[in-house]
Amino acid sequence: MNQMAPETKNRADAMLGLLAPSLYSDYVKVYPRAVSGRFRNIKWAILIACLAAYYIAPWIRWDRGPNAPDQALLLDMAGRRGYFFWIEIWPQEVYYLTGLLILGAVALFLATALFGRVWCGYTCPQTVWTDLFMLVERWIEGDRNARIKLDQQPFSFNKAWRKTAKHAVWLVIAATTGGAWIMYFQDAPTVTREIFTGDASGGTYFFFGLFTGTTYLLAGWAREQVCTYMCPWPRFQAAMQDEHTLAVTYQGWRGEARGKHKAGESWEGRGDCVDCRACVNVCPTGIDIRDGMQLECIGCGLCIDACDEIMTKVDRPQRLIDFVSIANLERRAQKQPTILKLIRSRTVIYAAMLVLVAAIMAGALLTRASWEMNVLHDRAPLYVTLSDGSLRNGYTIKLLNKTRDERTLYLTIEGIPQATMFLAGEGEAPSSRLPVTVPPDDVGDYRVFVKAPRQVIKESSTTLRFNVVDEQGRRLTGYKSTFNAPN
Amino acid sequence: MPTKIEKDSVTGTETTGHEWDGIKELNNPLPKWWLYVFYACVLFSAVWMVLYPSVPYLRSHFGGVLGYTQRDAVAKRLEEASGAQAQYRDQIAKLDIQAVKADADLNRFALAGGRVLFAENCAPCHQSGGTGAKGYPSLADDDWLWGGKLEDIQMTLQHGVRSTNDDDTRVSQMPRFLADGLLTMPQIQAVAQHVLSLSGLDKPNADGAKLFAEQCASCHGEQGKGMREVGAPNLTDKIWLYGGDKAVVVQSIAYSRGGVMPAWAGRLDDATIKMLALYVHALGGGE
């Protein structure tokens, strides 16, 4: 880093300022200090849970029988199927995924309205991986002061091996992350073996490299720049918050006036803040929480831990910085009892939306049919007059078999007496009950002709219902179509 | 133009000087890395401009040093596609049409290709899906003038009907009974009534039946069931190529009919004709 003396830098800035206002700011590297305490422990626990879930999930096996993949979570792009434990979806059912995303979004709104930026501070992948990368950094290069010193040092063997080791470990973690991402789209054991043996496809290596690269870049280099400049969420999440939303807040009424404090000095006439900058030093985004609510604050609460440590040392009450709502901050300042107001119109609306979407999803899942049918009436010719005067209509029928068994089912028609049907090109006698064999986990495609005597057709368009029944005559699915005739 | 640039008291940042309803905008500086990413994008587009078609001239454009055009790319893909079809087409050309039908893969290819070929070559007269029109027979029904077996259809496609440039064309000529003076108008009226009575559209006519036996039965058969060897239509069914009104039937007898279909053997290759024959056969009326 180019370290200019402050007065030199100010003069240079002032001279530049005469020419043009400063449009671009230098990157200020953040060196967060290690901290321990309640919120750090919660953050570690969530980090471990998130990483474990991410890395282990694709290895969970789920038996679906001989002809299906045995991976519990799998988005099989080539086979066009999505597997989620006992649920299997086809491409046209992608709205289940959409529903899942909507559920996630509404849950995020609700959590934000209640507890502020807990997503940003604890569960966002950017936070989780950045935290992990910082842990590695601390192990290899030391804590805040050691790292600042190392960066200021001229090139040396000590600096070289520490930097090399750090980036090497980062790259290994990034590669594991990128590799695990691939496993959600291909069979995990197979693709892991193929990546090492060189048998994986070019596309697999491309995405493996892409997600390795982005992980390394975002968690190693970009860090808080992602939250401040790239992510849209900090910009509009204020819309979900109100005066009862929890936020990491410096309680100025208690802290000011701040100032250095020597042991034995009186606390009369001054605030509890001893201006030690512990809250600034531990902040992963490098801000001063005492400046009030800021866009850059991810609400992780590490400054609370740092401050509590100091408050204990100077024998003042903890939680000078606290998770507290604006409403309660004012009440505390006026020595009024605090209130907990979880039920507000916005939280009720978010909760109701959550329940509604979840109910719709559950309903859709429970009523999901194993069989589906589509019937397409020929557009040309709409009808054909046969030599004996009877009428014939052509249909293309698609029968979706979402089970894992090949089945022979029966196609029946209702709505037109004496109507019969036959499959194109089979040369079989027309009948009113047509056997069709549907391959497992596939779509059966049939050209069907329906024939009816002229005298039973009264309208130019008569409703004709196709049904699919099993051997016992139970109806599995159906489709309402029409039978067309000359006017 | 911004007019009043001032320093914001809370953040110490300058404003842009823009003000809307009392709300002012801070002029926060962008990070340097953002600027460098922007420069990288500018560089990328400069390289792109050199490599790919970019600058328009008055009558043409700068084509890029790689010489890439989307037109060529499409042409190449089409060539690849027809190359991939070649193996199927060669097989179809080589095999007998029944053997093509028996091979599931070839048959599927022929039906899919036949659909497109039919739309290109046949649909202008026979309509899409072989619906047919007045004077142009429906190919989806079960009534065939010259035969509805695969081989019959293939033969008709190859040589056409009354085609002037094919010696093996299917040919027959119905006499113009009035114009050639073979029957008088009242006689024709009687024959027409008899013809319509064959499919229950009119009352029987004894004179007409007698004249029919003398003049028409040699081609249309004693019962009026038609004769495919000469393309004589079945007069007892419910299908009327030119219409089933008495006036139309009278017109047909008096001045004759004789639809023409071109011979396709010279225009389409063997595989294409077989594919078309298979497609037409599968429209619903194939025998």
Q: For residue range A136-167, list pLDDT tens digits in order.
A: 999 999 999 999 999 999 999 999 999 999 99
The single-letter code of the amino acid at B163 is S
Question: B266 and B164, same structural domain?
Answer: yes
Residue span of the structural domain in which A392 resides: 371-484
CA distance A110 to A116: 9
Put simply, the answer to whether A387 touches B33 (Cβ < 8 Å) is: no
The reply to whether B194 and B211 lie within a common domain is yes
Residues B81, B157 share a domain: yes
In a domain, A471, yes or no: yes
pLDDT at residue A21 in the model: 52
Chain A positions with Cβ closer than 8 Å to B: 21-27, 225, 229, 378-381, 384-389, 392, 394, 424-425, 447, 449, 454
Q: Could you tell me if residue A450 is inside a domain?
A: yes
Which tens digits make up the pLDDT trace of B171-203?
A: 999 999 999 999 999 999 999 999 999 998 999
Query: Does B245 map to a domain?
Result: yes
Closest chain A residue to B132 measured between Cα atoms?
A381
Residue A4 lies in a domain: no
Q: Taking residues B227-251, report their average pLDDT.
A: 94
φ/ψ (deg, to 5) at A315? 65, 40
Same domain assignment for residues A163 and A64: yes
Residues B81 and B215 in one domain: no
Assigned domain for B60 exists: no
Element (H, E) at B25: strand B23-26
Task: List helix spans (H) across chain B.
Answer: 32-51, 70-94, 97-102, 104-121, 123-126, 150-159, 185-198, 206-215, 217-220, 246-255, 270-281
A and B: number of Cβ contacts within 8 A: 74
Residue B30 belongs to a domain: no
Query: How far away is chain A from the Cα of B182, in angstroms, using its nearest Cα?
Result: 30
One domain for residues A45 and A108: yes
- A449: chain B residues, CB-CB within 8 Å: 284
The closest alpha carbon to A149, from A317, A296, A3, belongs to: A3
Between A229, A379, A424, which is nearest B31 by CB?
A229
Does residue B273 belong to any structural domain of this protein?
yes
Q: How far apart are CA B113 and CA B273, in angstroms?
A: 11
Cα separation, A277 vs A220, in Å, equals: 25
Question: Smallest Cβ distance to A381: which of B129, B237, B286?
Answer: B129
Residues B153 and B193 in one domain: no
- Chain A interface test: which of B10, B15, B34, B150 (most A C-beta within 10 Å): B34
Residue in chain B nearest A391 by alpha carbon:
B141
Residue B31: its H or E element: strand B30-31
Task: Say whether B31 and A25 touch across the interface (CB within 8 A).
Answer: yes
Query: Does A379 contact B129 at a Cβ distance shorter than 8 Å?
Result: yes
Mutual angle of helices A125-141 and A157-183, in 10-degree steps: 150
Residue B14 has pLDDT above 90, yes or no: no
Give the Cα separation of B281 and B107 in Å (integer): 12
Would you call B127 and A21 a contact, using CB atoms and an 8 Å cutoff? Answer: no
Residue A308 and residue A203 in one domain: no
B161 and B274 both lie in a single domain: yes
Residue B193 sits in the same domain as residue B163: no
Position B160 in a domain: yes
**Calpha distance A48→A68 (Å, rounded):** 32
Distance CA A58, CA A53 (A): 9
Residues of A whose CB is below 8 A from B14: 21
Chain A contact set for B140 (CB, 8 A): 381, 384, 392, 394
A425: which chain B residues are within 8 Å (Cβ-Cβ)?
A: 282, 286
Do A217 and A76 lie in a common domain?
A: yes
Best mutation target, A379, A384, A396, A446, to test chain B (most B CBs within 10 A): A384
Single-letter amino acid, residue A388: D
CATH number at B221 reads 1.10.760.10
The reply to whether A276 and A231 lie within a common domain is: no
Residues A36 and A86 in one domain: yes
CB contact under 8 A, B141 and A385: yes
Q: Do B31 and A392 touch (CB under 8 A)?
A: no
Contact B31 A27 (CB under 8 A): yes
Q: Do B84 and B127 belong to one domain?
A: yes
Q: Hey, are the CB atoms on A381 and B35 less than 8 Å from each other?
A: no
CB within 8 Å: A384 and B138: yes
Residues B204 and B231 in one domain: yes
Q: Which residue of A has its CA nearest to B35?
A: A24
A446: domain CATH number is 2.60.40.10
Peptide bond into A257 cis (omega under 30): yes
Say whether A22 and B29 touch across the interface (CB within 8 A): yes
Q: Which residues of B touch A389 (CB under 8 A)?
A: 237-238
Look-up: residue for tokens 């400063």?
A: A22
Mutation target vs A (from B16, B134, B139, B141; most A CBs, 10 A cutoff)? B141
A252 and A192 in one domain?
no
Residue that is last in its domain, among A285, A313, A333: A333
Task: Collect all residues of chain A within an 8 Å Cβ-Cβ radius of residue B31.
Answer: 24-25, 27, 225, 229
**Percent of chain B surpassing pLDDT 90:** 83
Q: Measured between beta carbons, which residues in chain B are less than 8 angstroms from residue A394?
A: 140, 284
Alpha-carbon distance values, A6 to A3, A13, A23, A28, A276 (Å): 9, 10, 20, 14, 21
Are residues A209 and A92 both part of a single domain? yes
Q: Do B159 and B267 belong to one domain? A: yes
Read off the tokens for B3. Answer: 């007019």
**In angstroms, rounded to a whole number, what is the distance separating the alpha carbons of residues B199 and A454?**
14
**Do A293 and A230 share a structural domain?**
no
Which residues in chain A have Cβ-Cβ distances shorter than 8 Å to B282?
424-425, 447
Cα separation, A98 vs B139, in Å, equals 47
Q: How confident is the model at residue A8, as a pLDDT?
A: 54
Count of domains forming chain B: 2
In a domain, A339, yes or no: no
CB distance A24–B234 less than 8 Å?
A: no
Q: How far off is chain A from B39, nearest CA to CA, in Å?
A: 13
Query: Is residue A422, in this structure, part of any structural domain at all?
Result: yes
Residue B1 lies in a domain: no
What pLDDT, on the 0 to 100 scale, is given for residue B2? 53
Domain for residue B36, yes or no?
Answer: no
If asked whether residues A65 and A153 sit together in one domain, one would say yes
Q: What is the ipTM of this complex?
A: 0.80
Distance from CA of A388 to the nearest CA of B (A): 6
- Mean pLDDT, residues B255-267 taken together: 94
On average, the pLDDT of chain B sits at: 92
CB contact under 8 A, A384 and B239: no
Do the Cβ atoms of A384 and B143 come within 8 Å? no
- Residue ranges in chain A modelled with pLDDT below 50: 1-4, 16-19
Contact A116, A246 (CB under 8 A): yes
Structural domain includes residue A1: no
Same domain? For A302 and A376 the reply is no
Classify residue A310: in a domain, yes or no: yes
B274 and B142 together in one domain: yes
Could you tell me if residue A46 is inside a domain?
yes
pLDDT band at residue B3 using 50, 70 and 90 as cut-offs: low
Kindly state the percentage of chain B with pLDDT values over 70: 99
Is B284 in contact with A392 (Cβ distance < 8 A)? Answer: yes
Residues A97 and A183 in one domain: yes
CB distance A229–B239 less than 8 Å?
A: no
CB atoms within 10 A of CB A408: 10
| Number of domains forming the structure of chain A | 3
Residues of A in contact with B32 (CB under 8 A): 24-27
In terms of residue numbers, what domain contains B194? Answer: 185-255
Q: Are residues B266 and B249 in the same domain?
A: no
Q: B176 lies in a domain?
A: no
Give pLDDT, residue A10: 54
